[in-house]
Amino acid sequence: MVFSLPDGFSPVWRPRSAIACARRVRDNATYLMSKLPRDPSDDEAPGVPIFRTWRGVYLFVAACFAAMVIALTVFTRFYA
């Protein structure tokens, strides 16, 4: 199986700035994911109450992590 390059992809990788570099990495990842065989379970809802998308679950976990760091910082200050 051989994939053709999408529009806008040059054969040699030459980022001109950090933003361009980040965009290129993101586009490559998106392209790579789009070329993989589709798995129906990708579209599955997380099946968790409140959350309708996986993005929501990830944001919730990230928010919980931030809350834990804040709580530990407060804990450190309180007992210092």
Partner 1 sequence: MNALDWFVLLGTMIGIAAYGTWRTRHTDNLNTYLKGNRSTKWGTIGISVMATQASTITYLSLPGQAYENGIAFIQNYFGLPLALIVVCAVFLPIYRKLGVYTAYEYLGQRFDQKTRLLGAALFLLQRGIQAGITIYAPAIILATVLGWRLDLTIIFTGLLAIVYTVTGGSAAVNLTQRWQVAVIFGGMITAFVVLLVKLPPDSAYLAGAMGKLQAVDFTPNLKLRYTFWSGVLGGFFLSLSYFGTDQSQVQRYIGGAALREGRLGLMFNALFKIPMQFFIVMLGALLFVFYQFRPDTPLIFNQTEWQRQVQGPQGETFRALDAKHRELHTDKQAKIRAWVAARDTGDATAEASARTALVTAQKASEAVRKEARATLEKASPDAKKTRDSDYVFITFILTQLPHGAIGLLIAVMFASALSSKAGELNALGTTSTIDIWRAFRPLAAADEPRNVRNAKWFTALWGLFAIGFALFVSFAENLIEALNTVASIFYPALLGVFVVAFFFKRVGGSAVFSAAIAAQAVVVAIFAYGKFFPKHEIGYLWLNPIGCAACVIFSLVLQAMLGGGSAPAAGERTSGPPVPTTA
Q: Rounded distance, CA 40 to CA 36, Å?
A: 12
Q: Rounded distance, CA 31 to CA 23, Å?
A: 12
Which residue in the set 12, 18, 19, 50 belongs to the binding site for partner 1 (CB under 8 A)? Answer: 12
Among positions 36-55, residues that touch partner 1 (CB under 8 A) are 36-39, 41-42, 44, 46-48, 54
Which residues form the interface with partner 1 (CB under 8 A)?
1-3, 5, 11-13, 25, 28-29, 31-33, 35-39, 41-42, 44, 46-48, 54, 57-58, 61-62, 64-65, 68-69, 72-73, 75-76, 78-80
